[in-house]
Structure 1
Amino acid sequence: MSRVGCSSLILLVLLTACASSPRTGYIDSPNGRPVPVRQDRNALHQLVKTDLDRLADIEYAENVSTLRLLMLKLYKRNPGEAQKSGLGSPEQIATYVFEQADLHGWQLEALGHAQDTAAIKLALNPQYSGDRVLALVVGIQSMLFRAHGGQSTFFLLDSIEPQNLYNAARNIEIAMWKLSNAKNPQGELLLLTNSQPGEVQNLSFEREFSKLVARTDLLALTLAEKSQRFVSRLTQSITTAPFLPFR
C-alpha cells in the first residue's frame, strides 16, 4: 500500500472512531450504587482525546451516576411520585431515563417534553400534579447535557463553553435551595430530601447534590483556565436568584 493510501486509511479509522458513540454500561459497587463503566477505554478513538476531553468524560459520567442514585433515593423518600409517571417502578424509570436517552432525547411525554430549567420548575410548582422526581432529575440531567454542548463524550475538536457549565452549577444550587423550601398550600414540602425535625439526621441528599456542583464547577474553571476564557461569577442571593440561561 502506498504512503498516501496508508495515511488515508489511518485518517478514516480515526474519523470513524470519533463518529462512533462509546458505550457505557453499569455495574453494582459494594455499596449498591450503580457505577458507569466505559466499554471502550482502550479503543483507538482515545488517541484523539486530550487530557481535558478525558476529564470531561469522567465528570459527565460521574454526574450521571450521582443523578441516577439521587433519583432512586428521592423515590424511596417520596414513594408516591413514581406512580404518577406511568413508567413503572423506580428502577425501571431510572433505567429508562439514563440508559435509553438515545431513544427519548430528554423529550419525555410524561413531562410534556419539558427539559432543563423548565422541567426543574415543574418539580417546584405547587400546582404540578405529575412525578416531581422525574421532572427534577430529567431537568438537571438535560440541563447538564445542554451545558456540555449537547454531548456526553468529548474529543479533540469539541468545545465546551465554561460559562454554560458554571451557570448549570449555579442552577443546581438554586434548585437545591428551592427544593428544601418549596411547599404546597398545606405547608408541606413538595419533595422530601434531608431529614426533617424529629427524624434521624440525614444529609445524604445534600452531599450528592453538592458533588454535582463541585464536579461541574471544577470542569468549568479548568476549561476557562486552559482556554483563557472569562467566567462571569454572579453574586446575586441564591434565595431570590432566577435560573441562569445558557449562551
Structure 2
Amino acid sequence: MDRKLVLFATRRIRQPLLLAAVLMLCATACSQQQGRDIARQFSNGKPDEFFQTSVDRMATLGMRDNLQSLYLLMNKLYLRNPNQWRQSGYLDAVSAAREIRLAIENRQPLPALGDRRDLVALSYSLSPEFRGDRVGAFIYAIGSMLVTAHGGRTQFYISDSINPQFVSNAARNIEKATWLLSQRQDANGVLLLFSNEISEEGSNLSFAVEFGKIVARLDLLTQLLDERYRRIGLNYAQSLLLMNFLPVQ
C-alpha cells in the first residue's frame, strides 16, 4: 500500500479518536464541576429546605424580602416623620421599629391599635381619629395583612397551602394603601404622614418604588401559585384520560 495513503488513513482515524477523547475529558470536568456545585448548594442549604417545593421556597424568600422592604419603609417614614416614634413611648426610632417588627413576626397585637389587625388596622391607622405612632401602626397593619394573606405563616412547606386570590388581594390593598399614604390629610390640610416628595428642590419617590417591589413579588407569587394548582388539575385530568390509577400514599 502506498505510504501516503497509509498516513492519510491514520490521520483520518486519529482525528475522531482525539475528538472523542477531548469530549470525554470535557464531560468528566463538567460532571466534576456540577458535583462540586451540588455539594456546595447542599452545604449552604438548611435542613428544612428538604421539606419545601420550589414554590414553597420562593414564597418563603418572597415573604422575607417583603418584610425587609416593609421595615426599610418604616425606617424611612420615621426619618421623614420624627414626631411619630416619640408618640410610641419608646426612647428612639430604633426601639420603636424593633417592637413593631417583633409584633408583626410573632403575630402579637399592637397596643396603639387595640385588637385591630390587617385591613381594620390599616383603615384606622390612616384615619384622622387615630392618636399615636401612625408610622408604627401603618407598617404593622400592612405586615399583619401580608402574614394573614399567606395563611398566617412566614415560612412554607409541602404541607402548607396558600390561596393565590388572597395574595393577589394583598397586592391590590398595598397599592391602595400607597395612594392613601400620599393623599390623607388632617383637618388643617397637612398630610398625615410625609412620604414621597416632588418639589422644586427635587423628587423623592423611593417610597413608591419600595412599595412597588412588594406588589411585584406578590403578583409573581400569585402567578406561580395559579400555575401550580392548574398543573395539579391538568395532571388529574390526564390521569383520568389515560385511565391511570391515582397513588394513595
Structure 2 counterpart of 1:184, from 172, 183, 186? 186
- Name the stretch that deviates more: 44-53 or 140-149: 44-53
Q: Are 1:148 and 1:164, in contact at CA under 8 Å, matched by a contact in 2?
A: yes
Aligned residue type for 2:230: Q
Structure 2 counterpart of 1:151, from 153, 162, 166? 153
Structure 1 residues not aligned, in runs of 5+: 1-39, 230-247
Structure 2 residues not aligned, in runs of 5+: 1-42, 232-249
Q: SS at 1:201's partner residue? A: strand
Offset of 1:124 from its aligned partner? 1.2
> CA distance change for structure 1 residues 113 and 86 in 2, over 3 Å: closer, same or farther?
farther
Aligned residue type for 1:217: D
Residue 121 (1) aligns with residue 123 (2): yes
> CA distance change for structure 1 residues 82 and 41 in 2, over 3 Å: closer, same or farther?
farther
Q: SS at 1:153's partner residue? A: coil
What is the CA–CA distance in structure 2 between the aligned matches of 1:153 and 1:111, rounded to whole Å?
Answer: 26
> CA distance change for structure 1 residues 66 and 136 in 2, over 3 Å: closer, same or farther?
same
Alignment-derived partner of residue 14 in structure 2? none
Higher Cα radius of gyration? 2
Structure 1 counterpart of 2:221, from 201, 212, 219? 219
Q: Which has the higher helix share?
A: 2
> CA distance change for structure 1 residues 118 and 87 in 2, over 3 Å: closer, same or farther?
farther
TM-score norm. by structure 1 comes to 0.72
Alignment-derived partner of residue 73 in structure 2? 70
Offset of 1:88 from its aligned partner? 3.4
Q: Are 1:111 and 1:130, in contact at CA under 8 Å, matched by a contact in 2?
A: no
Q: Are 1:106 and 1:138, in contact at CA under 8 Å, matched by a contact in 2?
A: no
> CA distance change for structure 1 residues 185 and 101 in 2, over 3 Å: closer, same or farther?
closer
Residue 46 (1) aligns with residue 49 (2): yes
Aligned residue type for 2:50: L
Identity of aligned residues (%): 41
What is the CA–CA distance in structure 2 between the aligned matches of 1:197 and 1:160, rounded to whole Å?
Answer: 42
Alignment-derived partner of residue 55 in structure 1? 58
Aligned residue type for 1:202: N
Offset of 1:45 from its aligned partner? 1.9
> CA distance change for structure 1 residues 55 and 184 in 2, over 3 Å: closer, same or farther?
same
What is the CA–CA distance in structure 2 between the aligned matches of 1:179 and 1:163, rounded to whole Å?
Answer: 24
**How well do the aligned residues superpose, as a CA RMSD in angstroms?**
1.8
Alignment-derived partner of residue 89 in structure 1? 92
Aligned residue type for 1:42: G
Matches within 5 A, 1:128-207: 128-207=130-209
TM-score norm. by structure 2 comes to 0.72
Give CA-to-partner distance per residue, 1:140-159, whole Å, 9 cap, x none: 00000000100010001110
Q: Are 1:54 and 1:154, in contact at CA under 8 Å, matched by a contact in 2?
A: yes
